[in-house]
Amino acid sequence: NPEEAPRVEVMTIHKSKGLQFDTVILPGLGRMPRSSDRKLLHWLEVPQQELEGEATMQLLLSPVRAAEQSVKEDALGQYVQKIEQQREKNELSRLLYVAITRAERKVHLLGAAKIDSKGALGRPAARSLLEQLWPQLEEQYQQQFEQTDLDMLQQQQEGEAWVQPQPQRLSAVWQLPSAPQPIQPLSPLPEQQSVYQWGSSRAIHIGTVVHALLQWIAESGVEQWVGQSLQPLAMRVDQQLRQLGVVREERPGAVLRVVEALQKVVDDPQGCYFLTQHEEARSEWSLTAQLDGVLTHITIDRSFIDAQGVRWIIDWKSSSHSGGGLEQFLDEEEVRYGPQLRKYAAVLKKLEQRPQKLVLYFPMHQQVREVSVL
């Protein structure tokens, strides 16, 4: 079910490696990373020239500086530590590159710079990610700083200062108030039905990704995909299947099936018509209404109003049938999912009074089944 898919994922930069997202938000870039513990021993592996065709490595060791020893007297230790600091800086640059390149569309960089003792814009904290970006962002920060009213900002901060509240004592005749009346639900919650969860978990996940990407294609404009191969979406499909928990051995076949379903939709004039930006076009439209005294939650895969003022209610069905008997299969699917579409129609009747058309669309077969409203 696409509505259950996470819209926002919070993770470390290390965990995000290999993934792609539409938008990436990187907060706290101005924070200084945790300081490393003081080491008892610093060392470097130094490559040497090849001897008899084999590369050799030598170890450069530097013990911790004695308490009575000055920094200048520990030249070897300072040298090794500077090399280590440069390596840490290079690692921060690599992490920053990994984080920024996770985004397919937008990256939001959030980092605070402090004001120095002279009231000017200060540099970011040392060894922070913002320090890595400072050569490119300093001018923007400076412009924002010059447009900021520091006096007003200080007054706001002072106004938000915490004040110790004065204790409020109860009167001697105070009594505990009566407990409120228990809440009486207006209608019982419907029992969870599994009638729409047919097939294996792999098939359900395939349907989830097909639904999500059909929504994305509709919102980004189906016209740009007509006559084009959707194979470039394979990596995106694999990522979404992996996030849903499809195991590695099953993903290649699942990716092929999802891409095939999407390709058949954009290659089908009827499928393209469903994804076109009509009046009040919506994908994965969630609604709640009371039907027969029961609170009902629904999600309509695709809906719009055509030029004749008819409300279309479309349900994608990624299931397929091999061999003969296709018409019988479609008849069975209509019987199985017809009540679901009629429930959608009943909910929309509470919002508007207009003609309705209920449709089951099977991408794998490029088949449309119209369901009677009753």
Assign residue 12 the CATH number of its domain: 3.40.50.300
Does 235 score more than 80 pLDDT? yes
Domain match, 204 and 219 both: yes
Residue 2 resides in a domain? yes
Those residues with Cβ within 8 angstroms of residue 122's Cβ, 6 or more apart along the chain or in another chain: 113, 114, 115, 116
Mean pLDDT, the chain, rounded, equals 84
Q: Is residue 203 part of a domain?
A: yes
Please give the average per-residue pLDDT across 306-310, as a whole number: 93
Domain presence at residue 339: yes
Tell me, what CATH number does 285's domain have?
Answer: 3.90.320.10
Same domain? 5 vs 137: yes
pLDDT at 38: 66
Residues 241 and 311 in one domain: no
Same domain, residue pair 258 and 131: no
Q: Where are the beta strands (DSSP E) in the chain?
A: 21-26, 41-51, 54-63, 103-109, 279-291, 294-305, 311-316, 356-362, 367-371
Residue 121 lies in a domain: yes
More confident residue, 360 or 34: 360
Q: Give the model confidence (pLDDT) of 31-57 as tens digits.
A: 887 766 667 777 787 777 655 556 677
Domain membership flag for residue 66: no
253 has a pLDDT exceeding 50: yes
Q: Are residues 260 and 282 in the same domain?
A: no
Into how many domains does the chain fold?
A: 3
Q: Which is higher by pLDDT, 348 or 184?
A: 348
Average pLDDT over residues 115-131: 85
**Confidence band for 68, pLDDT divided at 50, 70 and 90:** confident
Confidence check: pLDDT of 184 > 90 = no
pLDDT for residue 340: 92
pLDDT of residue 150: 67
Q: Which amino acid is at 339?
A: P
- Going by C-alpha positions, the residue among 204, 346, 237, 219 that lies closest to residue 281 is 219
Please identify, among 146, 168, 183, the residue that sits at the C-terminal boundary of a domain: 146
Q: How confident is the model at residue 284 (pLDDT cuts 50, 70, 90)?
A: very high
**pLDDT attached to residue 263:** 95
Q: 273: closest CA among 371, 365, 373, 359?
A: 359
User: Is a pLDDT exceeding 90 seen at residue 214?
Assistant: yes
Of residues 358 and 6, the one with the higher pLDDT is 358
- 217 lies in the same domain as 288: no
Whether 372 has a pLDDT exceeding 80, the answer reads yes
Rounded distance between C-alpha atoms, residue 256 and residue 269, angstroms: 22
Residue 35 confidence (pLDDT): 67
Mean pLDDT of 208-221: 93
pLDDT at 1: 40
Q: Is residue 229 part of a domain?
A: yes
When pLDDT is averaged across residues 320-337 and rounded to a whole number, the result is: 86
300 and 264 within one domain: no
> Token pair for residue 263?
């390709």
Residues 131 and 134: their CA atoms lie apart, in Å, by: 5
- The pLDDT score that the predictor gives to residue 155 is 59
On the question of pLDDT at 195 being above 70, the answer is no
Most confident of the ranges 36-45, 226-235, 355-364: 355-364
pLDDT at 269: 94
Which of 256, 272, 288 is the endpoint of a domain? 272
Q: Give the relative orientation of helices 234-243 and 251-267 as an angle to the nearest 10 degrees.
A: 130
Q: Is residue 16 situated within a structural domain?
A: yes
For residue 112, pLDDT over 90 is answered with no
Residue 204 and residue 311 in one domain? no
Domain identity same for 111 and 10: yes
Residues 130 and 222 in one domain: no
Q: Where in the sequence is the domain holding 98, given as residue range(s)?
A: 1-31+74-146
User: Quick one: pLDDT at residue 157?
Assistant: 56
Q: What whole-number distance in Å separates Cα of residue 93 and Cα of residue 187?
A: 57
Of the three residues 243, 272, 301, the one that is the final residue of a domain is 272
**Same-domain check for residues 371 and 283:** yes
* 189 pLDDT tier (thresholds 50, 70, 90): low
